[in-house]
Amino acid sequence: MFNPHQDTDPDETQEWIESIEGALQEHGPERARFLLEKLIDFAERQGARMPFNTNTPFINTIHPFEQKPFPGNRAIERRIKSLVRWNAMAMVSRANKETEGIGGHISTYASSATLLEVAYNHFIRGAAHPNGPDMVFFQGHASPGLYARAYLEGRLTETHLENFRRELSKDGGLSSYPHPWLMPDFWQFPTVSMGLTSLMALYQARFMHYLEDRGIIEKSGRKVWAFLGDGEMDEPESLGSITLASREKLDNIIFVVNCNLQRLDGPVRGNGKIIQELEGAFRGAGWNVIKVIWGSDWDSLFEKDATGALAKRLEEVVDGELLKYVVAGGSYLREHFFGKYPELLNMVKDISDKELLRLRLGGHDPEKVYAAYTEAVEYKGKPTVVLARTIKGYGLGEAGEGRNITHQQKKLNEKELLSFRDRFNIPLTDSEATTAPFYKPADNSEETVYLRARRKELGGPLPFRNQKSEKLKIPDRSLFNEAFAGYGDRELSTTMAFVRQLTKLTKDKDIGKYIVPIIPDEARTFGMEALFRQLGIYSHSGQLYEPVDSEQFLYYKEAVDGQILEEGINEAGAMSSFIAAGTAYSNYGVNMIPFYIYYSMFGFQRVWDLIWAAGDMRTRGFLLGATAGRTTLNGEGLQHQDGHSHLAAAATPNIKAYDLAYAYEIAIILHEGMKEMFHYQKDVVYYITLENENYKHPEMPSGVEKDIIKGMYKIHSTKNPVIRLLGSGPLMGETLAAAKLLKQDWNIEPGVWNVTSFSELRREAEESERWNLIHPDKRQKKPHLEKSLSNHKVPTVAVSDYVKMVAEQISPYVPGDYYALGTDGFGRSDTRENLRHFFEVDRYYIVLTAIRALANAGSVAPALSKQVMKKYGIDPNKPSPITV
Ligand SMILES: Cc1ncc(C[n+]2csc(CCOP(=O)(O)OP(=O)(O)O)c2C)c(N)n1
Ligand SMILES: [Mg+2]
């Protein structure tokens, strides 16, 4: 059988190798590559099937002869790095000695120190850089190293470091990980929910192109750096959008993957090679991949590798073995790695065991890292990933270097502290070192002067988050007069009503161009396709084809300066675009107004983690959950019908969530949101659910604007109410119908309210309650909820198209008995009428609940319920929607 690896004619093989060698020597690698590609191309055309291979050998991508020389002062930079290492370790170790279990990480920064220091000293631009700052996503649990450096730079004090992970201490502390919410002038991007970094960074880079292509910012050569862990790359989101970067030619993104081959529990790929696997994935996705595996110490070994035995051996070993070499010592390495082939043993015969173990790896060698970053920042037309081999817990020795426990190593004992001190030459005596003091060289020391000068030249300190931006001039409410007037007999959905108002906003002369409509392949579902033509769909390469609907007025128009971000079926990507647009105020000083409209069920349920990160990042914008409502979206069934996103929204601290019934409510909330976020610059997100049921939209009653914003307003009042009905969103119609039935069939006239936001009502009530609790001697506050309902202790029945807990949120604050109807259970496909009956939220169930409430209150006879059921055909044997 044909064996592709068997050499049937070694002499002929040698001739070919010599030819290529000649080409390499005479004309260089470019020519050699050209010739090889030509040969492969020729062979393929003649029918020779070439194996597909996205991998290169397990060696550095950049050869020593093409390496850009290192311009820094190696000795000083090493001393600075050692001090950062020491302080980072001391910070975590001391915190854990003082407060057992407070946590923190030593070993991750220990592995990434060189990767970060080279970037700090030579590459990453700060806020004051004349061409604008870079954006940096740091590996979240490397935060101790970043704090330690900020301490050396004089940005943080010893007290800050002492209070690492003690944010509530009165002198101020440091957050565990990068959280802009907690340290808004320091951290830019939250990175600890693994997988989100890659996505968010890619979409930040893409959004930079968007702003440039639309002429909103100048082209400036800014970069987005994302430092990632190799274990983290297993998150599907990490690799999920990498083709976006090559497709969009994002040469403004640089990924640096810290390949220490370990994650929390053990090896990332014990039985394989994570670096090779990632290389394959990224090259296959069209990235420029730079492997930095071996340090300069290995260069001479590769030079001596005339037979290719070293390269062969490197291909053979799996990561599990490579890790064993780190831990088991030099003689083990000699025996098990080099010992496999005599020529390899011979190669290292003059190197001692100790030196063998110290053969530095690529990610710990500033010269190799510098060369890689230089190529990365200069590379044009493609994104770059640097895959850097490091050792987890580097320098910790027996305290955890390369050990499987290293991720969880939180403190060092006295002996370990002393050996760490020796390893990195920290100028501390034994008795000093054993207390792990923070060490900061004098202001005029060589180290301090150097590191400050480097950062000054690059534009200032890192990390840094800008909090300043220009506020926008929000148009007057009259822009929405159409919605305030109502639509008469015309029936339309809230989605349509929203799209009409969005269209008006995009035409506004002051803010129109800052609006960023974001949509994951659902524009036609929501009736937004007219915007394609009006605003254009953003495409970095324009439109290279004639669209199939080019004859039509509303054709599918892609354009370099298109305004819409049409993200395809990619809610996570669309959400990342929302984050990029909604943080433009900080990253570019420009308030962009994102409107991310999506299929409600695929919002919170699918990307809540990103929404949470958006909250942490102080993102501003509108999330619009369209086709929402468990019974309002009817035909689509169980996996489509959202009846619970309002619970998630209520639990996200800076989200203001609204479930709206009428066009004028949408107008009021949009206007309020724009003012709050883009004029007053508050870091909140507005979440609005929209539906696809067509019905009439009345004129706005007078004087309800403020109440709509606060969460409820009165629709119908009676003199002596015996019961109240609260309707919400799409079930307002059923609520009004129930009120009619109560009057007409049972002679009971309820007061009726429209709840626009249960969560806003609850928040305000909770805040008032809290204030009253701690101010017992002051005049007690009354929340809006109580004010609008008055104090009558009559029963209240509330209904929404969401699970009962959404309406139940306000139960503790409603005077009198409270009954909530909702749509708990799995959805299914049927007519709206049948679904509402099935979920027991239709007009008849509202009436039945109201009668029951009155019976419980002693106002009507309990037997009346039976009559109600009979009259409306409510079957007592109907199964419960929660259990079927
Ligand atoms: C989504 C998610 N799952 C789990 C964790 C917990 N966690 C934090 S660090 C870590 C290991 C990280 O390994 P790696 O990415 O290789 O980084 P390293 O520390 O090795 O540089 C884990 C599992 C997390 N932060 N996020
Ligand atoms: Mg790792």
870-883 pLDDT per residue, tens: 999 999 999 999 99
pLDDT band, very low/low/confident/very high, at 49 (cuts 50, 70, 90): confident
Residue 117 Cα to ligand 1 midpoint, Å, equals 21
Please report the atom of ligand 1 found closest to the CA of residue 268.
Answer: 16
Contacts of 450 (CB under 8 A, 6+ apart): 73, 76, 77, 80
Burial tier of 192 (Cβ tally within 10 Å: 0-12, 13-18, 19+):
middle
* Conformation bin of residue 18: beta by default, left when phi > 0, alpha when psi is -120 to 50: alpha
- Return d(Cα 77, Cα 439) in angstroms, integer: 16
Please report the atom of ligand 1 found closest to the CA of residue 108.
Answer: 19
Q: Tens digit of pLDDT for each residue in 651-669?
A: 999 999 999 999 999 999 9
Please name which ligand lies nearest the alpha carbon of 193: 1
- Phi then psi for residue 824, to 5 deg, are -70, 145
239 within ligand 1 shell (Cβ under 6 A): no
Q: Tens digit of pLDDT for each residue in 266-286?
A: 999 999 999 999 999 999 999
Q: Is the pLDDT of residue 5 over 80?
A: no
pLDDT band, very low/low/confident/very high, at 793 (cuts 50, 70, 90): confident
Q: Is the pLDDT of residue 252 over 90?
A: yes
Closest of 725, 691, 734, 712 to residue 839, by C-alpha = 734
Please name which ligand lies nearest the alpha carbon of 143: 1
Nearest C-alpha to atom 20 of ligand 1 is from which residue?
263
269 within ligand 1 shell (Cβ under 6 A): no
Question: Is the separation of the CB atoms in 258 and 227 below 8 Å?
Answer: yes
Q: Tens digit of pLDDT for each residue in 218-232?
A: 999 999 999 999 999
Contacts of 851 (CB under 8 A, 6+ apart): 746, 860, 864, 865, 868
Residue 49 Cα to ligand 1 midpoint, Å, equals 41
pLDDT band, very low/low/confident/very high, at 44 (cuts 50, 70, 90): confident
191 within ligand 1 shell (Cβ under 6 A): no
Q: Are strands 712-716 and 751-755 parallel, antiparallel or unpaired?
A: antiparallel
390 within ligand 1 shell (Cβ under 6 A): no
103 within ligand 1 shell (Cβ under 6 A): no
Q: Tens digit of pLDDT for each residue in 719-743?
A: 778 999 999 999 999 999 999 999 9
Nearest C-alpha to atom 13 of ligand 1 is from which residue?
263
264 within ligand 1 shell (Cβ under 6 A): yes
Residue 314 Cα to ligand 1 midpoint, Å, equals 27
Average pLDDT over residues 667-682: 98
Contacts of 499 (CB under 8 A, 6+ apart): 526, 527, 528, 531
Residue 455 Cα to ligand 2 midpoint, Å, equals 28
Please report the atom of ligand 1 found closest to the CA of residue 195.
Answer: 1
Please report the atom of ligand 1 found closest to the CA of residue 407.
Answer: 19
Q: Tens digit of pLDDT for each residue in 155-199?
A: 999 999 999 999 999 988 999 999 999 999 999 999 999 999 999
In this structure, what DSSP letter does residue 363 have?
A: G
Question: Is the separation of the CB atoms in 587 and 624 below 8 Å?
Answer: no
Residue 407 Cα to ligand 2 midpoint, Å, equals 9
Please report the atom of ligand 1 found closest to the CA of residue 112.
Answer: 21
Q: Is the pLDDT of residue 2 over 90?
A: no
Residue bearing tokens 């055909």: 873
Please report the atom of ligand 1 found closest to the CA of residue 260.
Answer: 20
- Return d(Cα 404, Cα 266) in angstroms, integer: 5
Residues with CB under 5 A from ligand 2 (ion): 229-231, 260, 262
Please report the atom of ligand 1 found closest to the CA of residue 258.
Answer: 21
Q: Is the pLDDT of residue 601 over 90?
A: yes
Q: Tens digit of pLDDT for each residue in 691-715?
A: 999 999 999 999 999 999 999 999 9
Q: What percent of the chain has pLDDT over 90?
A: 94
209 within ligand 1 shell (Cβ under 6 A): no
pLDDT band, very low/low/confident/very high, at 4 (cuts 50, 70, 90): low
258 within ligand 1 shell (Cβ under 6 A): yes
229 within ligand 1 shell (Cβ under 6 A): yes
506 within ligand 1 shell (Cβ under 6 A): no
Cα distances (Å, whole numbers) of residue 234 to 246, 402, 501, 579, 787: 20, 20, 42, 23, 53
Average pLDDT over residues 355-367: 96
Q: Tens digit of pLDDT for each residue in 465-478?
A: 999 999 999 999 99
Please name which ligand lies nearest the alpha carbon of 138: 1
409 within ligand 1 shell (Cβ under 6 A): no
Closest of 692, 700, 757 to residue 730, by C-alpha = 692
pLDDT at 587: 98
Q: Ligand 1 test: best mutation among 194, 269, 389, 410, most atoms within 8 Å of CB?
A: 194
Q: Ligand 1 test: best mutation among 263, 389, 401, most atoms within 8 Å of CB?
A: 263
Please report the atom of ligand 1 found closest to the CA of residue 111.
Answer: 21
Residue 133 Cα to ligand 1 midpoint, Å, equals 28
Residue bearing tokens 């790929």: 269
